Every structure is written in structure tokens, then in C-alpha cells.
A = this chain, B = another copy of it.
Amino acid sequence: MSEIGETPKPPYYAVIFTSLRTAGDNGYAEMSQKMDELAKLQKGYLGIESARENLGITVSYWESLEAIRAWHAHAEHELAQQKGYQIWYQSFKVRICRVERDYSFEKEI
């Protein structure tokens, strides 16, 4: 289950991946979990947040643009991306951002 990412003090980078899926699972859930686990092992990985209703939003956080590029080019991730184009996604948009400022709130119990 996705939680609020525990990211360090800015600046750092975010990849906002917004998508609409095609019908049916077609192996998506399994690959999605595998990619989440693989991403966590990458150099410069800071966290991931994910939610889907009709629209799906996944935000992953990274130390640097170099770390984002390396993950994008990772062989197993590339294979997953190809299946994304061919099978899983009706449409998507990727936005690469520099996080400049953040703040958070936690209710006292």
C-alpha cells in the first residue's frame, strides 16, 4: 500500500507519471510490483507514491537527473516500458521536475 514518501530536504527530483490504462490486467499488476521493487534498489532512489482511480498517478523521487536517466535506461525497466507502449497504456504523460520546496502536516493523536 502506497504511503507518503519520506523524502529529504529539497532540492531533489520528481517524475510525475500520469496514465490511463487499457482494459484488462494482461500481466500489468505483477510487472508493476516488480518495477516498484527494482526501482527501490537503484542508486539515487528516494521514494515512490502511487494512486489510481480511473486516472493513475505515480510520482517517483530521485536525487538527481542522472539517477532518473539511469533508471529509465535500466534493461528490465526498458522491457517493461515497451510493454507499456504496446499493451498496458491507452495514454500517459511523464513530467520531470525539480522539487524546490516542501512542507508537511501530521495530525497529533
Pairwise interchain contact B2-A54, C-beta atoms closer than 8 A = yes
In this assembly, does A70 line the interface, its C-beta being within 8 Å of a C-beta of chain B?
Answer: no
Cβ B96 vs Cβ A99 within 8 A: yes
Q: How far is the CB of A51 from chain B (nearest CB, A)?
A: 4
**Number of A residues, CB within 8 Å of B:** 43
Q: Which chain B residues border A51 with CB–CB below 8 Å? A: 51-57
A41 within 8 A of B: no
A interface vs B, CB < 8 Å?
1-5, 7, 10, 14, 16, 18-20, 22, 49-57, 59, 85, 89-107
Q: Which residue of B lies closest to A61 (CB)?
A: B95
Contact between B55 and A2 (Cβ–Cβ < 8 Å)? yes
